[in-house]
Amino acid sequence: MTFLSLPLLASGSCRQFSTREQTPQICVVGSGPAGFYTAQHLLKHHPQAHVDLYEKQLVPFGLVRFGVAPDHPEVKNVINTFTQTAHSHRCAFHGNVVVGRDVTVPELREAYHAVVLSYGAEDHRALGIPGEELPGVLSARAFVGWYNGLPENREPDLSLQLAPDLSCDTAVILGQGNVALDVARILLSPPEHLQKTDITEAALEALKQSRVKTVWIVGRRGPLQVAFTIKVLGPEGGSRGPTMWPSLGRGEDRSPVAARRCSMSPTEAPRPRKRLTELLLQTATGKSAGKEAAQWALAPRAWGLRFFRSPQQVLPSPDGKRAAGIRLAVTRLEGVGEAARAVPTGETEDLPCGLVLSSVGYKSCPIDPSVPFDPKLGVIPNVEGRVVDVPGLYCSGWVKRGPTGVIATTMTDSFLTGQTLLQDLTAGRLPSGPRPGYAAIEALLSTRGVQPISFSDWEKLDAEEVSRGQAAGKPREKLLDPREMLRLLGR
Ligand SMILES: Cc1cc2nc3c(=O)[nH]c(=O)nc-3n(C[C@H](O)[C@H](O)[C@H](O)COP(=O)(O)OP(=O)(O)OC[C@H]3O[C@@H](n4cnc5c(N)ncnc54)[C@H](O)[C@@H]3O)c2cc1C
Ligand SMILES: NC(=O)c1ccc[n+]([C@@H]2O[C@H](COP(=O)([O-])OP(=O)(O)OC[C@H]3O[C@@H](n4cnc5c(N)ncnc54)[C@H](OP(=O)(O)O)[C@@H]3O)[C@@H](O)[C@H]2O)c1
């Protein structure tokens, strides 16, 4: 094998790549953080690699656009880094291409030296309880998609998710993760706090009319097992806005008794969890002095945490037409600390509410019958990003390790997949000889009537969104309708 003398900085060491892989054609499926960080790593550490990013939406950036809360704009600054990557002359973005429908994974594998699947977790985990299908029950994923302008959750497309009905007094959120806190904050924030964000106009209008005054965030385990973090809940959020002091539910759930029922005292907990628990207990015991806490206590809208309650059934209204409450199984913990398991005590509690938001996690789906998928774990089986038993196929991000972790975790994980791929390239484990890359796929897409969107197309849409937002003092007004986007691009 002949080697070019190309010293490369990968993992701090000099790397060499064989001439036959001078221009490795690499395809990345998905343009969220995992897709962009994988591409960034490959482009940085291989001077010839060409990376094509395929994206099903017309627009890039995945959950950074459609997940991150509108009142956390600083998180979206990662878009600047992703844009730099997309501007590389060795990188191309192809939006509006659904892999698994418009083009198959075997077709991509034929056209490229390597394919990286970074398509995230697009579905939500079902609760699997009676009544879940009733109107008034919504996944947090759909609710987040609605306020963030995800085309499939837009209104008034009656064939798809409807806008949530906010005419009730009480909403219950099931699950105690960061998504649950985002959803509660958006439901309860005064609309004037949201109107200078990139929340969609339709969501803002609906929230202005909202009658929801009380939000319960329900967990099946205790305060020491909550999945949300102090960064999202507490004052460490800094620029993220005010601390979310719970202002409801003084009593058993939030008393120190609850902490004692957690099989671990807060003082034994690891440091970040200890601080989180202390913050929760301060409010539970009424020691949350300070202006912010006082403001939350006086606020016309309030939220609270309920612990040791597992969803058992959505209760229907008398006419059976919509949700009117939730039956919760009272639980106790078996085991210690974060690994403790919730087991039912046999008691139940009914909580009346008009809106149930299920926030028990996202879920990845299989993309193509040729790609192995573990339905139980909801991931593509892989070893360090190499898809098991499929040479030349890799994965990164939430579809690789499951739907948890912040953008920084996804970055580290994606760099590792990039590194694995480059190691295989160096070791001659990828196909030899030139590959056509996008030229072959473009021809296929054209025969199938697919109209891909380039990154410069996206920049035109971006400019349009920014200009529409300016009038209302917002960073942007998101375009929601793919047909309108195509029209704006002259298609
Ligand atoms: C509601 C919510 C809020 C969050 N807020 C924060 C936050 O404030 N800070 C933080 O650090 N982290 C936050 N996170 C976590 C962060 O968003 C994730 O760590 C990260 O987005 C995971 O990246 P990913 O690329 O694996 O998935 P995604 O971001 O979901 O990207 C996957 C991409 O693949 C595309 N795709 C899917 N299927 C196909 C297909 N068949 N063909 C082509 N393309 C496809 C999708 O359209 C999407 O663009 C939040 C997560 C959620 C759910
Ligand atoms: N600002 C931010 O940084 C931010 C914002 C949003 C999301 N994120 C990240 O995105 C990831 C996903 O967040 P997420 O909130 O969707 O998921 P998550 O962190 O995994 O939380 C899921 C919650 O649902 C509960 N749950 C799961 N199955 C349940 C069931 N069958 N019945 C009752 N409760 C159930 C879990 O309880 P158990 O613990 O008992 O299983 C947990 O409280 C997380 O890593 C999060 O940190 C970050």
279 vs 341: which has the higher pLDDT = 341
Q: Is the CB of 34 under 6 A from ligand 1?
A: yes
**CA of 148, nearest ligand number:** 1
Q: What is the mean pLDDT of residues 198-207?
A: 95
Please name every residue paired with 114 in a beta bridge, in sequence order, or none if there are none: 26
pLDDT at 245 over 70: no
Q: Is the CB of 217 under 6 A from ligand 2?
A: no
Q: Is the CB of 122 under 6 A from ligand 1?
A: yes
Residue 394: per-residue pLDDT:
98
Q: Is the CB of 397 under 6 A from ligand 1?
A: yes
User: How far is ligand 1, taken at its centre, from the CA of residue 168, in Å?
Assistant: 31
User: How far is ligand 1, taken at its centre, from the CA of residue 121, in Å?
Assistant: 7
User: How far is ligand 2, taken at its centre, from the CA of residue 359, in Å?
Assistant: 7
R_g of the chain, CA atoms, integer Å: 24
Residue matched to tokens 């929760």? 280
Show Cβ contacts of residue 354 under 8 Å, excluding neighbours closer than 6 positions: 136, 165, 167, 168, 169, 170, 171, 322, 323, 324
Q: Is the CB of 393 under 6 A from ligand 2?
A: no
- Pairing of the two strands 123-124 and 302-306: unpaired
Select, from the ranges 22-26, 28-32, 280-284, the one with the highest average predicted confidence (pLDDT).
28-32
Check: pTM over 0.75? Answer yes or no. Answer: yes
Q: Is the CB of 465 under 6 A from ligand 1?
A: no
Q: Whole-angstrom distance between the N-terminal and C-terminal Cα of the chain?
A: 47
Domains by residue range for the chain, with CATH: 9-122+364-453 (3.40.50.720), 124-361 (3.50.50.60)
What is the rounded distance in angstroms from the CA atom of residue 363 to the CA atom of residue 147?
A: 20
- Pairing of the two strands 355-358 and 137-139: parallel
Q: Is the CB of 35 under 6 A from ligand 1?
A: yes
Beta carbons of 283 and 276 less than 8 angstroms apart: no
User: How far is ligand 1, taken at its centre, from the CA of residue 293, in Å?
Assistant: 33
Cis peptide before 106 (omega within 30 of 0): no
Q: Is the CB of 55 under 6 A from ligand 1?
A: yes
What is the rounded distance in angstroms from the CA atom of residue 58 to the CA atom of residue 465?
A: 14
State the DSSP code for 268: G
Closest-lying ligand 2 atom to the alpha carbon of residue 180: 15
**CA of 55, nearest ligand number:** 1
User: How far is ligand 1, taken at its centre, from the CA of residue 250, in Å?
Assistant: 36
Q: Is the CB of 175 under 6 A from ligand 2?
A: yes
User: How far is ligand 2, taken at its centre, from the CA of residue 277, in Å?
Assistant: 17
pLDDT at 241 over 50: no
Measuring from atom 53 of ligand 1, which residue has the nearest CA?
67
User: How far is ligand 2, taken at its centre, from the CA of residue 416, in Å?
Assistant: 24
Band of the pLDDT at 396, cuts 50, 70, 90?
A: very high
**CA of 360, nearest ligand number:** 2
Task: Read off the pLDDT of residues 418-455 as tens digits, 9 standing for 90 and up.
Answer: 999 999 999 999 999 999 999 999 999 999 999 999 99
CA dihedral (221, 223, 226, 228) in degrees, to 10, reads: 160
User: How far is ligand 2, taken at its centre, from the CA of residue 208, in Å?
Assistant: 27
Residue 4: per-residue pLDDT:
29
Residue 82: per-residue pLDDT:
98
Measuring from atom 3 of ligand 2, which residue has the nearest CA?
406
A 10 A CB-CB count for 460 gives 15
Report residue 479: phi and psi, to 5°. -80, 135
Percent with pLDDT over 70 in the chain: 82
Question: Which string of DSSP letters, residue by residue, matches 349-380?
Answer: EEEE-SEEEE-S-EE-----TTS--BTTTTB-
Going through 64-204 in order, the beta strands assigned E by DSSP cover: 91-94, 114-117, 123-124, 137-139, 170-174
Band of the pLDDT at 262, cuts 50, 70, 90?
A: very low
Q: Is the CB of 153 under 6 A from ligand 2?
A: no
Structure tokens at 208: 């202005």
Measuring from atom 38 of ligand 1, which residue has the nearest CA?
119
**Mutate-to-test residue for ligand 1 from 53, 56, 63, highest number of ligand atoms within 8 A of CB:** 63
Q: Is the CB of 98 under 6 A from ligand 1?
A: yes
What is the rounded distance in angstroms from the CA atom of residue 31 to the CA atom of residue 397?
A: 11
Please name every residue paired with 314 in a beta bridge, in sequence order, or none if there are none: 326
In three-state secondary structure terms, 151 is: helix
Beta carbons of 358 and 164 less than 8 angstroms apart: no
Q: What is the mean pLDDT of residues 297-302?
A: 72
Beta carbons of 103 and 444 less than 8 angstroms apart: yes
User: How far is ligand 1, taken at its centre, from the CA of residue 412, in Å?
Assistant: 15
